[in-house]
Structure 1
Amino acid sequence: MNPPEVFAPAALGPIILRNRVIKAATFEGRTPDALVTDDLIAFHREQAAGGVAMTTVAYCAVAPGGRTDRHQIWMRPEAVPGLRKLTDAVHAEGAAVCAQIGHAGPVANAASNGVAALAPSRIFSPLGMRFTKVPDATELRQIIAAHAEAARLAERSGFDAVEIHFGHNYLVSAFLSPLLNRRTDGYGGSTAKRARLAREIACAVREAVGDRLAVTAKLNTEDGVPGGLTVPESLQVAVWLEADGACDALELTAGSSLLNPMLLFHGDAPRRAFAKVLPPPARWGFRIAGRVFLKQYPYREAYLLERARQFRRELSMPLILLGGVTDLDTMRLAMAEGFDFVAMGRALLREPNLLHRIRSDPGTRSACTHCNECMPSIYTKTRCVFRPEQQAEPIRQVQIDLGTPTRRSE
């Protein structure tokens, strides 16, 4: 059987995408008041106009304390009008739009949010410079319900899909980690118990939106730290998620925002740039521990493929390949390997119109050099630093018409 064409329409659960390329979630840093701005809309409109099938809005936290800092959007009724304006803008360019929902857990900045960061077990978080809070069973039920409500709000806002964040040692990923989860209750211990929160959230989200939205999950294949989640354990979690039937696809990722972020990115480790933008005392600590925190992984195309292949062999559900997808050859390789979609991040920050260039000339190569200088830009406005025209754009709050929103015609 011939592999599917990259630029042919494809089904993702209940929706049809115009091709098989998804703009991956890359925190935009364009919501200073935790609400949509014109700048955020322009960012996603540009991605949609560039030809992707679907762009992912990141990050839509399910609770105020679930943000990595207080500037991020959290899903509440006040956010719906601005989100609706964003989804309408993306739809006008012919693309679908996905909301990445989740709880940052130990990756949340407690000092910025003004509430304690959550983790399955008590740890010291260098992000907020304080210890995390351990949620009990009642609080976990509230978090599950918050994911379901966030999904309902995403539907009200006109989104076509939601992506649940199960990666990078955010809250659910931290529960999956044997290193971070030392609980002895029903949510800790065995792999099955550590996977319970992920499965309950996925099922709650699916129940909330039915078959009206596509539901995907971003799942760590491994944490990349001693004692963390490993590929065999993650594969078992994926098998359970598939059996539950709540997810239309899994996007496979890797690494820990707490302990090993470069496993996700590969390429140059931007230690100097990070040291410049971090406030003291984090800056001083980073100068000492930066080499340990930001490890060096040489870049190569499809660098997460070897791990992802193991999931493709064991699962029948659709899978999204992430990591080092920058040209048509790699996209076609992913399709030939049995992946249903590919997700692109940094290459589209560098060139939002890259897909149009590839369609015009299949031999096109991305201008992204994988320097990863875009990573520290999350503290000002996520961008490719080699696109200076983005740096001068003011962040303006959206002026919202508070009339009754209308749904996009099918």
Structure 2
Amino acid sequence: MHRSSVSSSQTGARSHRSRITTASELATKPEFDDWARELKLEKHIERNLTDTPIFSAIKTIQSHSKIFPPWVRDKRSNNYSFIPPAYQKWKDVLCSSLQADDEYTFVDGGEADSAFPFAIGIIVQLCHHQDRLASVNRTSLDSNTDIHFILDSLMMHSCDGDGDEFLVYSTEQKLRLPATSSTKANVVTTTADGVSSLDIIEFDPYTIHIDYRESMSAFSTKNPTLHLILVHCVVEYKRLGVGENQMKMGMVSALYQKKFNKDGLQVVAGIWEADTIKLYNVGKYSLRHPGSLVELYLVLRGMKRLAADYRKELLNSSKTLRGVFKTNPPVNEWATRDTNTIHELPEETDDEPQHGDSHFQRGLSTLELWDMAARINAFHESIRNCDPYSLWQVDP
């Protein structure tokens, strides 16, 4: 009897130790399919946005991202006076390509702003750096960090450049994941390479109902933040397959709260349709085409305006949601660490080496975009229903 008991205990311990406990490991395993299926995440990324009202805001961002100020194609513009000599080549490439390209429209007073010229400086620096890294002599030295620190600068500038304070970009953020019934994986967080998040200051349903703050926060912190912070954008730079799967985990985290290949980036929208998370392609952008990166910057600017509208609508709904919370409080559906499971190692320890791999591709950089009105409606509906799979469908 004693031997049998020990054997059973050892078997149980081995079973728990064999469970997947990190997002970086899950992203590489067949068990990811089961995880996505249980959380009702459709893995396939749709190529085109459908002709429905929920996508109208995103389609507006797409169309506006192709409207440039006329000075961008003028090599002699004073807005280029601060470009260092080393980057002049890429300024010339940008201007020449735009003069010959009929894909873009040039209109005074379009999407340009006072921060626009500085963004151009970051873009030509990125192109220059990418070109140097592509030399035959440096092929074996390829790494994620070489490029993504400049892309982080562009992301940060899109949030901070105009001086307002409500949208913040930060790197290496740990996000909570919803609970599942899986016996093969017990993954409670995923670490995103970058996150743009929206501060909702003095949002009564969050600040007054202290007991519900943990249920309402997607960030994995020791204690919930003083004010509500909503995830607006998730960025991943990892290898193509792993990066795409970890991006999807980050989007699941954001949605429950409420390829980047060798030379390109992809923008993806995460949408709640009924009780299923669907993914849609918004645009693809080349690191070797400065005009394409200008278009990406304008997409980021459009995303920020969307965040501002959403913030306003959410604050306007504060009183209504306070009343809903009194009769139907939110349920904490985030995953928790199984006490019998071995301690989760840091995410980065599970990633394969990033150097010297002939099959290496820098991961997918992916941003989330949502329609503001639908997000608010979904928030109201999820609070009313308190359904485990729709609790934080703030971000359709």
Bucket of the pairwise TM-score, normalised by the shorter protein: under 0.3
Q: What's the TM-score, normalizing by structure 1? A: 0.23
Q: Which has the higher contact order (CA 8 A, sep 6+)?
A: 2
Q: What's the TM-score, normalizing by structure 2? A: 0.23
**Structure with greater proportional helix content:** 2
Q: Which has the larger radius of gyration?
A: 2
